[in-house]
Amino acid sequence: MQSWVLSANEADSHFPIQNLPYGVFARKGEEPRCGVALGSCIIDLAFLEAEGLVQAADEPVFNQPQLNAFMSLGAAAWDNVRSSLQELFRENGNPVLRESSTHCERALVPMAEAQLFLPFQVAEYTDFYAGKQHAMNIGSILRGPENALPPNWLHIPIGYNGRASTVVASGHDVRRPLGQVKAPTAEVPSFKPCARLDMELEMGAVVATPSRMGEPISVQQADDMIFGYVLLNDWSARDIQGWEYQPLGPFQAKAFATTISPWVVTKAALEEFRCATPPREKELLPYLHEPGPMLYDIELEAYLQPEGAASPTRITRTNYNRMYYSAAQQLAHHAIGGCKMNTGDLLGSGTISGAEKSEFGSLMELTWGGKEPLQLADATSRIFLEDGDTVTLTGWAQGNGYRIGFGSCSGTITPAPAHAPVSKLTQEA
């Protein structure tokens, strides 16, 4: 399928007509509203809806600053809008837009002129630890290879509840967090800026249709509830985490920022790239059995660019198909005890690492706990992130002559606050 929007037909475009990912955008002085990426343009869904050219529901859903209302409608509405858009923008399709310069100018906004926002209101955020190679690497660094995996790891997708309040869109700066740390030789902890700031290359699954409290869901039902996927960088303060995580797991070390890409790539666009999870080393309990392929073949890359560097350095290249548990399995496990899942819930996959060092998805792994500095293209090196560093994730599923791309997911590290707030009583003391 080709589009009359010519930039969408370029072989390396992330946004061909086969993709049509959803986001939220606005030009300067305008209110944010829903749109779809096509080539170098954004389709203004609010305009098309007002003109009666697309219809998701009886009431407008695209003139809003988040996708939640549309996502909650379910698969029939998603499929209907996707079919309408492909008919309007494919070569030799419905000519109502391409034959009217006025309509065309209103319907298509140059991406270069638009600001992109968080694509949906994040209801709640859960991060998983579902990449086996990553879990083996981190466990080996911290506990040795003989104790790398916790006893439950091969039986359940391990996760923790994160903070929806600090999920931000690509381009939002990330402030270095403050916190308690304790050196191995110190008797007591100290309070200071994080010194071992890390990135984590992940995918995020976006929950669209809710479940009911007290009612478990199957893996198939979980897959049906997922609207699409985003790139996700779950920034991590490794030194803060090392002191605080016993016995309840990550807290402040993970709560300060999570960055996602501005475009949600739908399951419909990814359908032909489905692939199976790997063979199981331990038989999973029946409620986690998959009725079919639930992973996706998506190439992923991460780049690091120091402040002032002429160009970024690619620090890793891996694939989403390296995961041990799929997003559908993660969602099914999340709800199995009766937890209610909501429209706008975000599930982080966990860091995605492959078997080779060039496929490791975090600096903790790439530098093996800080023992092996990572060399960059500008002749500098990194153990962990420094102020001014920009990390950019990107990814795509490669089709025959086209890509289903996610765009980019970037964040720049800014310095920690000069000091922490101190109570009046403490100051007087």
| Beta strands 258-260; 167-169: pairing state | parallel
Distance CA 375, CA 381 (A): 4
| Beta strands 159-161; 125-128: pairing state | antiparallel
**Total number of domains in the chain:** 2
Domain boundary among 117, 135, 163: 117
Kindly state whether residues 92 and 149 are assigned to the same domain: no
> Do the beta carbons of residue 8 and residue 39 sit within 8 Å?
yes
Residue 126 structure tokens: 């859960």
In the 8-state DSSP scheme, what is residue 39?
Answer: T
What are the beta bridge partners of residue 41?
38, 110
Whether the bond into 247 is cis, omega within 30 of 0: yes
**Which distant-in-sequence residues (6+ apart) come within 8 Å of 184 by Cβ?**
none
> Do the beta carbons of residue 25 and residue 42 sit within 8 Å?
yes
Kindly state whether residues 94 and 206 are assigned to the same domain: no
Is 421 inside any structural domain? no
Give the torsion through C-alpha atoms of 217, 220, 221, 226, to 10 deg: 120
Give the domain extent around 81. 6-117
Q: Can you give the pLDDT at residue 217?
A: 98
Kindly state whether residues 215 and 282 are assigned to the same domain: yes
Domain of 169, CATH number, reads 3.90.850.10
Distance CA 135, CA 131 (A): 6
Is 426 inside any structural domain? no
Kindly state whether residues 215 and 179 are assigned to the same domain: yes
The ranges of the chain with pLDDT < 70 are 420, 423-429
Q: Can you give the pLDDT at residue 93?
A: 93
Q: Can you give the pLDDT at residue 425?
A: 58
Kindly state whether residues 110 and 135 are assigned to the same domain: no
CA angle 346, 287, 329 (to 5 degrees): 25
Q: Can you give the pLDDT at residue 428?
A: 52
Is 420 inside any structural domain? no
Q: Can you give the pLDDT at residue 47?
A: 97
Is 1 inside any structural domain? no
Over the stretch 149-192, which tens digit does the pLDDT of each residue have? Answer: 999 999 999 999 999 999 999 999 999 999 999 998 999 999 99
Distance CA 306, CA 313 (A): 9
Domain boundary among 117, 139, 159: 117
Give the H/E segment covering residue 44.
Answer: strand 41-44
> Do the beta carbons of residue 274 and residue 420 sit within 8 Å?
no
Cα-Cα-Cα-Cα dihedral sign, residues 106, 107, 113, 119: positive
Count other Cβ atoms within 10 Å, centred on residue 249.
16
Kindly state whether residues 173 and 224 are assigned to the same domain: yes
Kindly state whether residues 103 and 170 are assigned to the same domain: no
Kindly state whether residues 133 and 108 are assigned to the same domain: no
Give residue 394's identity as a one-letter amino acid code. Answer: T
Active site residue 334: no
Is 206 inside any structural domain? yes
Instruction: Supply the pTM of this predicted model.
Output: 0.95
**Which distant-in-sequence residues (6+ apart) come within 8 Å of 126 by Cβ?**
159, 160, 161, 162, 330, 334, 345, 346, 347, 348
Domain of 99, CATH number, reads 2.30.30.230
In the 8-state DSSP scheme, what is residue 343?
Answer: T
Kindly state whether residues 214 and 289 are assigned to the same domain: yes
Count other Cβ atoms within 10 Å, centred on residue 292.
10
- Would you list the DSSP string of 88-102? HHBTTS-TTTTT-HH
Q: How far is CA 389 from CA 59, 258, 351, in A?
A: 44, 16, 20
* 3-state secondary structure at position 393: strand
- Sequence length of the chain is 429
Which among 14, 103, 134, 289 is annotated as catalytic? 134
Over the stretch 325-359, which tens digit does the pLDDT of each residue have? Answer: 999 999 999 999 999 999 999 999 999 999 999 99
- Would you list the DSSP string of 176-210? PPEEEE--TT-SS-EEEE-SSEE-BEEEEEEE-S-
> Do the beta carbons of residue 273 and residue 183 sit within 8 Å?
no
Distance CA 64, CA 20 (A): 18
Domain boundary among 117, 133, 153: 117
Kindly state whether residues 75 and 136 are assigned to the same domain: no
Q: Can you give the pLDDT at residue 421?
A: 73
> Do the beta carbons of residue 44 and residue 228 sit within 8 Å?
no
Distance CA 8, CA 41 (A): 9
Distance CA 355, CA 132 (A): 10
Distance CA 144, CA 392 (A): 31
Give residue 200's identity as a one-letter amino acid code. Answer: E
> Do the beta carbons of residue 411 and residue 259 sit within 8 Å?
yes
Distance CA 34, CA 424 (A): 46
